[in-house]
A = this chain, B = another copy of it.
């Protein structure tokens, strides 16, 4: 059965990418419907028919981000022979992501919802959950490092996992503050000394 009714006048997938870009550049609250509809080139009713609400559009944008732009650092975490190489690759990849942000800079998962008020609370916890998963993956990689013997048995894995999660947050904050690649990459070396005890 073919689709009935008037066909949509724009590409929904392309529109979602632009939505992601706008949220990525401005964050959830600062991005207003004007920005979203203008970026897509549609009017509000078309937006609501296609995406339901600003909040639902954000959720879809986050999913897309996790699948595409945001996945680079997690893929990088699975490269490299040693845990240290993997962590370095992850941090460098997160710098790439931060600098690839359109307009503004930084990671959507870190900067997308900064204040937890009644209205934005569910979205705040959505992003917080994704960040927690990230730390979990770092922890798993460090555990493997201990098992592989490239980290000492005494390594405080939980602390270091949380530490590198914090470093990624710091990278995004610095990127948002206008830091360029050299300044961001300068953060990687010092942070890796924690693995060189």
Contacts and interface: CB of A to CB of B under 8 A. Distances in A.
Interface residues of A: mostly helix, strand, loop or mixed?
A: helix
Given A163-B186, A166-B171, 15 more contacts: A27-B114, A29-B29, A29-B115, A104-B116, A114-B115, A114-B176, A159-B190, A162-B183, A162-B187, A163-B187, A163-B190, A167-B170, A169-B170, A170-B170, A191-B194
Tell me how many chains of this kind the complex includes: 2
Interface of A: 26-27, 29-30, 104, 110-111, 114-117, 128, 131, 156, 159-160, 162-163, 166-167, 169-171, 173-174, 176-177, 183, 186-187, 189-191, 193-194, 196-197
A176 B115 CA distance: 9
A160 B189 CA distance: 10
